[in-house]
Amino acid sequence: MQVIPRAYQSTAIKAALKGLRGRSQRALVVLATGLGKTLTAAFVAREFRAKRILFLVHNNFILEHAINEFRLVFSEKTSLAIYNGLSKKGALHANIVFATWQTMSVHLEEWRRNHFNLVIVDEAHHSEAGTYKPVLKYFTGPKLGITATPDREDEADIRGIFGREVIDITLEEAIARGWLPRIEYHVITDESLDDEVLQKIAAEIREAKKRFTMAEVNRRIFIKKRDEEVARIISGYNEKAVVFCASIAHAERMAKSLTLAATFHSNKGNGQQDTWKKNREVLENLKNGIIRRACAVNAFNEGVNVPSVGLVAFCRVTGALTIFRQQLGRGLRPGKDKLVVLDFVGNLERIQLVLEMMNKISDLHEKYTPRKDMEREGYTRESFEVSGKGFEFTFSDKVVDLMKVLKHCEREFYPTWQEASQSAISLGITNSTEYKMKYKKDPKLQSGLDKYYKDFPGWVKFCGRELRIPYPKWNLASQAAISLDITCQREYVDRYKEDPKLPSSPVTCYQDFPGWTKFLGKERYHTWQDASKAVISMGIRTRREYWRKFKEDPKLLLRPNQYYKDFPGFRKFLGKK
């Protein structure tokens, strides 16, 4: 098993333990994809000797991988449990609970705040997100964050939660040191460039001092390859491949153009469980060789472990460095000699990104590798070509001309708010707050929309949301929700849009909101006395025992002391004198 070298893993473990046992009781471990983040976290957890551990992830593939890694470190006596939308069996009594953020966020009331002695957050760069942060705030105790990409695209800083990095090894450093499979990176530009137009633009810049926008240069120079041509080039390689596409529709088209191919995305099935099952089947088929190509969009970015993948093909624009590293990392898993990368993305921004990465890897290689070793391995470095023990980047001569053109390009914004709106919606932006966090992902989006577009229509319309005029009273909304057979808060969040008059958050919409139990018409004991009789008849004698068994009676509540205004205290509630 190829992981971070033992000396560095030992350093990471010691530093993490020091942070967790210190005054702040927190630590952030940053390790590049393929260096064994999860395994390192498991060693830290074992050395920390926490009796109850929570391991938080954001999808089921990461959850499954984490359980397998922890089983390599912990003995069979350690009980492990899953806590997600598919299973919760035994979680309340397990030593280590592997949970998804989504499930934990809507079931916090089932847990005591101090239940866990250690909280580990995988892909910790998600922690600043609005849906994740409340979970971390709820649980007390030490917290360990692990990630390969600590810097978020919205510039939010997760170091406020976990502190500064106790160890930080980037993807570029891992490649430069030869700790990952050898990478052979090919930017497919020569056949897709209009050389005559390129020379004409260069002449206009040189002679007429004319300036261009990146969008204009990209539009004039790059000729988009057809899916069939891209598929032909990919098919020329025997390695198993992950093909990153621009959209789900694009992934479906590419899968049809390739032989022994299948798609892997968030709409693979009907509902969460069906999608999970079908995507998992695609992974197994890829591992077993039944298929040779997996066409994905973003679902493959994190936590999907396929060691046998030897080829990564980029058929989409990925200007965000974080996403680029995540997708590149899908092929840099332990268990292979090399990774071939085919980059079909035709624009100036992407070429600049790859060049910057190449130069950083070269600088680090020269920093950490003795001169004798570089001479023995035949290390070479030119302006647009570099080759070392663990990497090889090759660009054509035309890239030189492209870089000269890039220096004379100006930034361009969308000319109309409608075009900007389409981009924002594709980024998943639903309100002004999210826009401020995400707009930099598209260089053609800008900060001051209302000032730039005189006919700016407002955020509701800009973000593609219908103006929802909710029911005037909570009881009317309650009747509507009950008629839809909505039975819990989480289901309400998923389905409230089925009725255009249901508000997204009835808690904040109605000042006299009665609580989810009454709002959703769920039957409870009307008085604490009736509930007390039921509890006593069940033989429950302690508060801890109540929390373990209250679900056996659907009319009992987790926190009766908060529900009943005249609650007499647990001692009397449990029938004790």
Q: For residue 73, what pLDDT is reported?
A: 93
Q: Is 385 helix (H, G, I), strand (E, B) or coil?
A: strand
Range of 148-157, 191-200, 452-461 with top mean pLDDT: 452-461
Least confident segment among 107-111, 328-332, 357-361, 419-423: 328-332
Same domain, 155 and 230: no
Give the other-Cβ count within 10 Å of 425's Cβ: 14
**Residue 226: which residues within 8 A CB-CB, separation 6 or more?**
none
Contact 199, 354 (CB under 8 A): no
- What pLDDT was estimated at residue 1? 43
Whether 293 is in a domain gets the answer yes
Share of the chain above pLDDT 90, in %: 15
One domain for residues 228 and 142: no
Domain count, the chain: 5
> Which position has the token pair 């999808």?
59
Is the same domain home to 146 and 213?
A: no
Q: By C-alpha distance, which of 18, 79, 82 is closest to 44? A: 18
Query: CA–CA distance from 209 to each of 202, 204, 215, 398, 517 (Å)?
Result: 10, 7, 18, 21, 70
Residue 301, H or E segment: none
Q: Which of 169, 196, 211 is the last residue of a domain?
A: 169
Question: Could you tell me if residue 412 is inside a domain?
Answer: no
Residue 104 lies in a domain: yes
Same domain, 237 and 383: yes
Residues 51 and 137 in one domain: yes
Domain assignment of residue 1, yes or no? no
**The pair of three-digit structure tokens given for residue 392, joined into one six-digit string:** 């090889």
Identify the band that residue 536 occupies on the pLDDT scale cut at 50, 70 and 90.
very high
Query: Can you read off the two tokens belonging to residue 344?
Result: 């079909």
Note whether 234 and 293 are within 8 A (CB): yes
**CA–CA separation, 390 vs 512, rounded Å?**
64
Q: Is 118 exposed, middle or buried (0-12, 13-18, 19+ CB in 10 A)?
A: buried
329 and 421 fall within a common domain:
no
At residue 197, the pLDDT reads 77
Of 482, 498, 519, the last residue of a domain is 519
Question: Do 482 and 507 lie in a common domain?
Answer: yes
Query: Does the pLDDT at position 53 exceed 90?
Result: yes
Question: How many helices (H) and strands (E) would you count in the chain?
Answer: 28, 18
Q: Which of 110-114, 392-396, 504-508, 511-515 has the highest mean pLDDT?
A: 110-114
**Phi, psi for 259 (deg, rounded to 5):** -90, 150
> In angstroms, rounded to a whole number, what is the distance separating the alpha carbons of residues 514 and 288?
54
Contact 575, 536 (CB under 8 A): yes
Q: Which of 382, 390, 388, 316 is nearest to 355 (CA)?
A: 382
Residue 482 lies in a domain: yes
Same-domain pairing of 245 and 214: yes
- Which among 562, 557, 569 has a CA at the least distance from the CA of 531? 557
Q: 345 with 308, same domain? A: yes
Report residue 161 as tokens: 């939660």
The pTM score is: 0.62
Q: Give the residue from 169, 204, 239 where a domain finishes.
A: 169
Kindly state the percentage of the chain with pLDDT values over 70. 85
Q: Are residues 257 and 286 in the same domain?
A: yes
Smallest CA-to-CA distance from 29 within 174, 171, 165 is with: 165
Contact 67, 98 (CB under 8 A): yes
Residue range 514-522: mean pLDDT, rounded: 80
At residue 187, the pLDDT reads: 76
In which band, very low, low, confident or very high, does the pLDDT at 196 lie, cut at 50, 70 and 90? Answer: confident
Task: Considering only CA atoms, give the Rg of the chain.
Answer: 27
Q: CA triplet 435, 438, 444: central angle to 5 degrees?
A: 90
DSSP assignment of 16-82 equals: HHHHHHSSS-EEEEEE-TTS-HHHHHHHHHHHHT-SSEEEEESSHHHHHHHHHHHHHHS-TTS-EEE
* Across 423-432, average pLDDT: 79
pLDDT for the residue numbered 305: 65
pLDDT on residue 258:
92
Q: Where are the alpha helices (DSSP H) in 74-109?
A: 101-105
Separation CA 1–CA 154 (nearest Å): 35
192 and 139 share a domain?
no
In terms of DSSP bridges, do strands 26-31 and 143-147 run parallel, antiparallel, or are they unpaired? Answer: parallel
Across 417-424, average pLDDT: 84
Lowest mean pLDDT among 111-115, 208-212, 376-380: 208-212
The answer to whether residue 37 sits within a structural domain is yes
501 located within any domain: yes
> What confidence score (pLDDT) does residue 2 get?
47
Instruction: Report the alpha-carbon angle 314-315-318, nearest 5.
Output: 65
- What strand order describes the sheet that includes 385-388? 261-264, 293-296, 240-244, 309-314, 338-343, 182-187, 391-394, 385-388, 380-382
Residue-wise pLDDT tens digits, 134-190 = 888 889 889 999 988 776 544 455 777 888 888 888 888 888 888 888 888 887 765
User: Would you state the pLDDT for residue 54?
Assistant: 96
Q: State the CATH number of the domain containing residue 87.
A: 3.40.50.300
End-to-end CA distance of the chain: 60
Q: How confident is the model at residue 408 (pLDDT cuts 50, 70, 90)?
A: low
Structural domain that includes position 355: 182-406
Identity of the residue numbered 146:
I
Do 500 and 433 reside in the same domain of the chain? Answer: no
Q: Is the pLDDT of residue 572 over 70?
A: yes
**Cross-strand bridge partners of residue 409:** 212
Task: Write out the two tokens for 177.
Answer: 């040191």
**pLDDT value, residue 155:** 43
The half-sphere exposure of 186 on its side-chain side, counting CA atoms within 13 A, is 14
Q: Is the model more confident about 407 or about 28?
A: 28
Please report the pLDDT score of residue 71 as a whole number.
Answer: 93
pLDDT at 435 over 90: no
Q: Which of 123-127, 162-166, 342-346, 495-499 has the lowest mean pLDDT?
A: 123-127
Q: Is residue 436 part of a domain?
A: yes
Closest CA to 295 of 308, 276, 314: 314
The 3-state DSSP class for residue 496 equals helix
CA atoms of 352 and 321, how far apart (whole Å):
11
Entry field: residues in the chain: 577
